[in-house]
């Protein structure tokens, strides 16, 4: 059965026609009218109409950037979109005439990696999406872990440092404040302002202005061998290892998949994470260590995973 997967982000809506093998056959894109739920739904329906032309489609899966209820019907809350207890599945079903399943966007991306990507041989997976922020997904015994209310796997808000840096969620010391694209840029700018001599190449590339630093610049210089930028990624990888070690004490995954924009750093991020994980994980001398691998489905993961979830019983 063909299904349409929709990935709704803060600035764009990406929709794709996906077959049962996870292949993306066609795609459509719309701008996200972030402040108006009805306009968001109209844009999604318009993209779906485009993709359905001349094709038989059985269902729609939506990856939504927010908290989704356990029934996979309602977006309870979204930080960057105007969703507050919005019955998104009901609204889209009325507009399209197709059955709709709604899932958190990180869960949708994680499901794509589990079914078709880097974790397709595993039964137990932990995925962390290290982008601007930090996303997560957990598959346990072949099933997506969603929790009693649908809010499970919010790994960004596991406490990494008690009484640490303030987080936008209102708590302090959340893992996202130490392992994310924002955290990488913040650390680079802080060290530049402090006059760190190991970051002279970064200062030069940024035109002498710390505010000109972004994550891709740090990654590029690190890949070119710049020691200061390598250390910035190593620090981020250290915290990634600390966080996943705590999560592994509960979840015991076979494989830890790392995706998101910062994962473009590859082994410059993964090897420090492995080393830190091995130092901090419980029973380190007696357990099978999980594999740390890079995600393989890229920016299409949300669409692919959402489409497959639309075909998957809850």
DSSP symbols for 126-184: EEEEESSSEEEEEEETTEE---SSS-TT-GGGSBSSTT-SB-TTS-BSBGGGTSSHHHH
Q: Examine the pLDDT at 310 and tell me if it is beyond 90.
A: yes
Q: Which residues of 221-258 are buried (b: 16+ CB within 10 A; e: fewer)?
A: bbeeebebbbbbbbbbbbbbbbbbbbbbeebebebbbb
User: At 295, is the pLDDT very low, low, confident or very high (cuts 50, 70, 90)?
Assistant: very high
Looking at the chain, the domain(s) classified CATH 3.30.420.40 span 2-111+300-310, 122-295
pLDDT for position 139: 97
3-state secondary structure of 271: helix
**pLDDT tens profile 245-277:** 999 999 999 999 999 999 999 999 999 999 999
Average pLDDT, integer, range 232-243: 97
Q: Which two structure tokens, joined as six digits, stand for 200?
A: 């002279």
Q: For the domain 122-295, what is the CATH code? A: 3.30.420.40
Is the pLDDT assigned to residue 286 strictly greater than 90? no
CATH 3.30.420.40 fits 2-111+300-310, yes or no: yes
pTM score of the predicted model: 0.90
Residues 6+ apart with CB under 8 A from 159: 171, 172, 173, 174, 175
Give the list of residues 6+ apart from residue 220 with CB closer than 8 angstroms, or none.
none
């Amino acid at each position: 059965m063909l299904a349409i997967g929709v990935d709704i982000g803060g600035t764009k809506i990406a929709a794709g026609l996906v077959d049962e093998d996870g292949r993306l056959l066609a795609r459509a894109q719309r701008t996200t009218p972030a402040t108006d739920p009805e306009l968001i739904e109209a844009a999604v329906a318009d993209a779906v109409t485009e993709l359905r032309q001349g094709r038989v489609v059985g269902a729609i899966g939506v990856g939504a950037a927010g908290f989704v209820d356990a029934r996979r019907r309602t977006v309870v809350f979204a930080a960057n979109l105007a969703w507050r207890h919005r019955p998104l599945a009901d609204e889209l079903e009325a507009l399209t005439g197709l059955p709709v399943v709604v899932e958190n966007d990180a869960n949708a991306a994680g499901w794509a990696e589990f079914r078709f990507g880097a974790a397709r041989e595993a039964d137990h997976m932990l995925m962390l999406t290290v982008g601007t922020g930090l996303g997560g997904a957990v598959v346990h015994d072949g099933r997506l872990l969603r929790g009693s209310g649908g809010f499970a796997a919010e790994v960004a808000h596991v406490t990494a440092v008690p009484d640490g840096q303030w987080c936008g969620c209102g708590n302090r010391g959340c893992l996202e404040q130490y392992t994310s694209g924002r955290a990488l840029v913040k650390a680079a700018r802080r060290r530049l302002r402090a006059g760190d001599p190991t970051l002279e190449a970064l200062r030069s590339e940024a035109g002498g202005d710390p505010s000109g630093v972004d994550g891709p610049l740090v990654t590029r210089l690190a890949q070119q061998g710049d020691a200061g930028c390598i250390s910035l990624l190593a620090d981020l990888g250290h915290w990634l290892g600390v966080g996943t070690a705590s999560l592994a004490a509960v979840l015991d995954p076979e494989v830890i998949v790392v995706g998101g924009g910062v994962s473009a750093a590859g082994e410059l991020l993964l090897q420090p994470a492995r080393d830190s994980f091995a130092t901090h994980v419980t029973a380190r001398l007696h357990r099978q260590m999980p594999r740390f691998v890079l995600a393989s489905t890229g920016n299409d993961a949300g669409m692919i995973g959402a489409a497959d979830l639309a075909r998957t019983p809850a």
